[in-house]
Amino acid sequence: MAKHKKQPRPKAETPKGFRDYFGAEVTQRDAMLRAIAEVYDLYGFDALESSAIETVEALGKFLPDVDRPNAGVFAWQEGEAGGSGDWLALRYDLTAPLARVYAQHKNDLPTPYRRYAMGPVWRNEKPGPGRFRQFYQCDADTVGSAGMAADAEICAMLADTLEAVGIARGDYVVRINNRKVLNGVMEVAGVLDPSHPEKFAEARGIVLRAIDKLDRLGTDGVAALLGEGRRDESGDFAKGAGLSPAQAGTVLGFVGARRETGAATVARLRELVQNSATGIEGVDELEQIAGLLAAGGYGADRIVIDPSVVRGLGYYTGPVYEAELTFEIFDDKGRRRQFGSVAGGGRYDDLVRRFTGQDVPATGISIGVDRLLAALREKGRMRSAGRGPVVVTVMDRERMADYQAMAAELRKSGVRAEVYLGNPKNFGNQLKYADRRASPLAVIEGAEEKARGVVQIKDLALGARIAENATLEEWKERPAQVEIARGDLVSCVRDMLASRSGGA
């Protein structure tokens, strides 16, 4: 440590855009991820965990906001400073790594390959309130199946998953659409020439991202982005796709094509894509998925066709889907709004071909873990906090072994328990500690109790607001305290905890 003495102290701060998660924040997420994994497993999906680091070339560049530093990823070059090794990067999602994994291991994997994956991903974006640069995703994908049955299965599984973690039917809807329909509409509008797709790639990307912002910007905002561009509240100008008003109108007609029933929506879409072969194919695919889902009992109360869903990512080639929570919450400014999207996905038939040159169809879903967790907390579906431990206080620091024995006995019977390990001199500090630990009970055994073969058990929930400077004597007089035989410690504590949880 000596060498640090003359250096300035390091700042005890997470890097900007990162945060720490404590206690129940961690265990609740784990519990939710386990519940999701159970559904995925039941559907025959196998676990996969790839490493956080990939080569930049393997990841590719598919993030919606390509104008970010380092194209939105955290990247560095292998070797010493200024080295000439591979460029490496932290994964920005779990889909790009899946394409690499499948291309690398396809001879050892079943085809079709159903896999799920969960873990953190990283985006090198400008951090903002509630926007973090590390967050969890939980994905399920099927690689190697071109049929719409794979997409229908993913949508059904998504609905089952939301219900399994605690989102009631009626509180969510899975909305599906198809990129081919949008491409067909753009073809009809003259924005996209199927024989020269690269010519319109940039405009197409702007159109996609503009539609994806519909719920945030409204129709006027999207229309501006489809045309010349849009100046936002901060004064920044976002370049538009350069569509004529007529073209923009056609695209907006598509976005608003949702009708009362799925059949009516499909009929309207058929009109809009006219003679575009791509568009017709997309409408057919939508019809197939809807048919399979209806046959499985997934009706319009759970899954609907909605042309306003496009998803921002560049790699989707056919069906796209999005799960939205439909109940209302109050936003930061106290306004009521729908909770919104918690999962999205779609078909990306070209991602594996990047590596192998061969067509490998694929489709899948990604759950935004943090948002879904926030929704469950909103709905009160998560135990609000962890259970605090029973705290064995230290009255006589020479008898630490006695106190440890009590904690050990409690743990052997499954009771979470710990000995106070701070400086035991000030007993009030021990009680403040127990309070901060949300401890249900404290155990006390001073010399006098030891001599009589008894211990005191203090019910801390009843005495939660302990005066900061209460003396031990004052504190012992409080009603919620019982004296029991030392030999009855475990049984009494268990009884008291059971009655507490029964009464809670």
H/E element, 88: strand 87-90
- Residue choice 131, 190, 193, 201 for contact with a second copy (CB under 8 A): 201
- Judged by CB, which is closer to a second copy: 120, or 446? 120
Residues in region 432-451 near a second copy by CB under 8 A: 433, 436-437
Dihedral angle at the C-alpha atoms of 55, 60, 66, 69, nearest 10 degrees? 10
The tokens for 32 are: 């939710």
Q: Check binding of 421 to a second copy (CB under 8 A).
A: yes
Q: Check binding of 202 to a second copy (CB under 8 A).
A: no
CB of 347 to a second copy, least distance (A): 13
Q: Check binding of 41 to a second copy (CB under 8 A).
A: yes
CB of 174 to a second copy, least distance (A): 16
> DSSP per residue over 385-445, as a string?
SPPPPEEE--S-GGGHHHHHHHHHHHHHTT--EEE--S--S-HHHHHHHHHHTT-SEEEE-
Q: Check binding of 51 to a second copy (CB under 8 A).
A: yes
- Judged by CB, which is closer to a second copy: 55, or 499? 55
- Rg of the chain over CA atoms, in angstroms? 29
CB of 291 to a second copy, least distance (A): 7
Residues facing 441 on adjacent strands: 459
Residues in region 256-285 near a second copy by CB under 8 A: none
Region from 104-112, 182-190, 222-230, 440-448 binding a second copy, contact rule CB under 8 A: 104-112
- Judged by CB, which is closer to a second copy: 100, or 268? 100
Listed in sequence order, the residues at least 6 apart from 353 whose beta carbon sits closer than 8 Å to its beta carbon are 359, 360
Q: Check binding of 296 to a second copy (CB under 8 A).
A: yes
Region from 97-105, 327-335, 373-381, 489-497 binding a second copy, contact rule CB under 8 A: 97-105
SS3 sequence, 236-265? CEEECCCCCHHHHHHHHHHHCCCCCCHHHH
- Residue choice 93, 322, 418, 445 for contact with a second copy (CB under 8 A): 418
Residue 134 φ/ψ region, left for φ over 0, alpha for ψ in the -120 to 50 degree band, beta for the rest: beta
Residues in region 345-404 near a second copy by CB under 8 A: 350, 353-357, 386, 389, 391, 397, 400-401, 404
CB of 462 to a second copy, least distance (A): 20
The tokens for 358 are: 């061969």
Q: Check binding of 150 to a second copy (CB under 8 A).
A: yes
Q: Check binding of 72 to a second copy (CB under 8 A).
A: no
**230 phi, psi to nearest 5 deg:** -145, 135
CB of 216 to a second copy, least distance (A): 27
Contact 388, 497 (CB under 8 A): no
Residues facing 173 on adjacent strands: 324
Q: Check binding of 79 to a second copy (CB under 8 A).
A: yes
Q: Check binding of 405 to a second copy (CB under 8 A).
A: yes
Distance separating alpha carbons of residues 261 and 110, to the nearest angstrom: 38
Q: Check binding of 50 to a second copy (CB under 8 A).
A: yes
Distance separating alpha carbons of residues 252 and 10, to the nearest angstrom: 53
